Amino acid sequence: MSKQQDTSKLWGGRFTEATDSFVQRFTASVDFDRRMAAEDIAGSLAHADMLCAAGVLSDEELAAIRDGLSQVQEEIRDGSFQWSIELEDVHMNIEARLTELIGITGKKLHTGRSRNDQVATDIRLYLRSAIDSIAGELTRLQHGTVTLAASNTDTIMPGFTHLQTAQPVTFGHHLLAWNEMLQRDYGRLQDCRKRLNRSPLGAAALAGTTYPIDRARTAAALGFDAPTENSLDSVSDRDFAIEFCAFAALLLTHLSRMAEELVLWTSAQFDFIELPDRFCTGSSIMPQKKNPDVPELVRGKVGRVNGHLVSLLTLMKSQPLAYNKDNQEDKEPLFDTVDTVLDCLRAFADMVPAIKPKARQMREAARRGFSTATDLADYLVRLGLPFRDAHEVVGKAVAHGVASNLDLAEMPLETLQAFCPDIGEDVFAVLTLEGSVAARDHLGGTAPAQVAAAAQRALRKLEQR
């Protein structure tokens, strides 16, 4: 042999020279895909069990593989496992160690499968369990949000449009708006789980295999709902990972909106809430500062998560069937998305229940901003004025209030009557903040009774998960 054969590789047979050392490092994924070791072993156990049932492996061989894999599992757990980039990825690292431990039988494990269906299986198993952890944290956050809403059904604050005071709402109503966003995120997460929970195992490299495999058996053993339908699609598409990242981008978008409000509300200018010190940090130069770092950081994390979504979409775009090495690039964005989502949810689930609303300041802000102007217009409509004329009359009264530094409810009856003589003493009932919110008494409205009922419905939904 003029060239040295590369025998260190599990695929070295047809090669006549060793892999370039840079190429070895460039193509290796073990540094990040070893995160899926537990899933890889679970997949191998299901595959080996099925091969034995199909008569491809003997009972003794299956027992040896089981013992070997459980030792590998143990070595990985206790940190003694020697990961090697010469063995490229998590799959070949584990298989090589198995063979070291149990000899020739270890080499039979890969019968009737390929790393292509193996990796597709591993990512789905990994992501499925990540989804279940995320669902738990999301539920914890929703529970905290709804519970805080239930104890603030009549805490009045200004509602905003264009970040200008619009109409009074209750703090509980505002929190339940957050919960609705999170509720839809939860639905998207479960939709994603449903579609990803199919077993690609048996697709082998791309076309299936000549062995008498039982795909339903491995699917069931791994907790999948069913096997996938088409072998080419099974090893190639990563749309489930893209869907998950799309869920994550929307969730983080929602968390960033909540974060933005927390940042605003803790400022001296709003002063609507108090965040416990444990979620804030100080400034090394300005002794008076208490910065809302946790919400700010969550607001910032949306950038990387959106980036990962675009990475995966771009990775998948134009890929011809079936597996391409491009797909090795799916893992880092996916893993970082999982980590980021879990961290952000944990931060919010811990922090939201600890929010202390400052009811007096919120109420005062609502009172200052002419937030019951629409109520006065509605009152005039009930007296018989067309809405556009009522709007004009109230606009003039507000201009007078701005000039004289008086809120509508603070104006004497005679002042109000100067704008419309039909206004009576009963107008003050609608000009109060309490009257204003109580009047919006329908499904989805901000009346305290509606908010209390909505909070109970939301809690019930959470309990049914």
Contact with ligand ARG (CB under 6 A) among 142, 165, 327, 446: 327
* Annotated catalytic residue 283: yes
- Euclidean distance between CA atoms 69 and 100, whole angstroms: 11
- 275 burial (CB, 10 Å; 0-12 / 13-18 / 19+) is buried
Nearest distance from C-beta of residue 269 to ligand ARG, angstroms: 50
Whichever of 29 and 340 has its CB closer to ligand ARG, that residue is 29
Nearest distance from C-beta of residue 313 to ligand ARG, angstroms: 18
Token duo for residue 62: 């299956």
List of residues 6+ apart from 250 with CB closer than 8 A: 185, 188
Asked if 211 contacts 54 with a C-beta cutoff of 8 angstroms, the reply is yes
Contact segment (CB under 6 A) with ligand ARG among 287-295, 311-319, 321-329, 354-362 equals 321-329
- In degrees and rounded to multiples of 5, residue 198 shows phi and psi of -125, 145
| Cα three-residue angle 6-8-13, rounded to 5 degrees | 50
Nearest distance from C-beta of residue 93 to ligand ARG, angstroms: 11
- Euclidean distance between CA atoms 407 and 462, whole angstroms: 41
Under rule CB under 6 A, how many of the chain's residues touch ligand ARG?
9
- Euclidean distance between CA atoms 408 and 165, whole angstroms: 14
Nearest to 148 by CA among 124, 122, 115, 170: 170
> Is 164 strand, coil or helix?
strand
- Euclidean distance between CA atoms 429 and 146, whole angstroms: 30
Q: How would you write 90-140 as a 3-class SS string?
A: HHHHHHHHHHHHHHHHHHHCCCCCCHHHHHHHHHHHHHHHHHHHHHHHHHH
Whichever of 72 and 431 has its CB closer to ligand ARG, that residue is 72
Whichever of 9 and 290 has its CB closer to ligand ARG, that residue is 9
Nearest distance from C-beta of residue 88 to ligand ARG, angstroms: 7
Catalytic annotation, pick one of 8, 267, 283, 404:
283
Map the footprint of ligand ARG across residues 100-129, applying CB under 6 A: 115-116, 119
Task: Report CA Rg, the chain.
Answer: 31
Whichever of 97 and 299 has its CB closer to ligand ARG, that residue is 97
Whichever of 111 and 432 has its CB closer to ligand ARG, that residue is 111
- In degrees and rounded to multiples of 5, residue 199 shows phi and psi of -90, 120
Nearest distance from C-beta of residue 327 to ligand ARG, angstroms: 5
Contact with ligand ARG (CB under 6 A) among 325, 360, 382, 388: 325
* Annotated catalytic residue 162: yes
| 237 binds ligand ARG, rule: CB under 6 A | no
Nearest distance from C-beta of residue 33 to ligand ARG, angstroms: 6
Whichever of 119 and 263 has its CB closer to ligand ARG, that residue is 119
Map the footprint of ligand ARG across residues 19-58, applying CB under 6 A: 29, 33
- Euclidean distance between CA atoms 311 and 242, whole angstroms: 9
Contact segment (CB under 6 A) with ligand ARG among 158-166, 239-247, 320-328, 360-368 equals 320-328
Token duo for residue 308: 């990962």
Catalytic annotation, pick one of 2, 80, 162, 442:
162
Q: Residues 84-103: x/- map of binding to ligand ARG (CB under 6 A)?
A: -----x--------------
Whichever of 9 and 400 has its CB closer to ligand ARG, that residue is 9
- Euclidean distance between CA atoms 440 and 15, whole angstroms: 76
Nearest distance from C-beta of residue 47 to ligand ARG, angstroms: 15
Whichever of 119 and 309 has its CB closer to ligand ARG, that residue is 119
Nearest distance from C-beta of residue 70 to ligand ARG, angstroms: 23
Nearest to 44 by CA among 121, 103, 101: 121
Q: How far is CA 261 from CA 145, 156, 255, 258, 389, in A?
A: 14, 16, 10, 5, 35
Give catalytic residue positions.
162, 283
* Residue ranges in contact with ligand ARG by CB under 6 A: 29, 33, 89, 115-116, 119, 325, 327-328
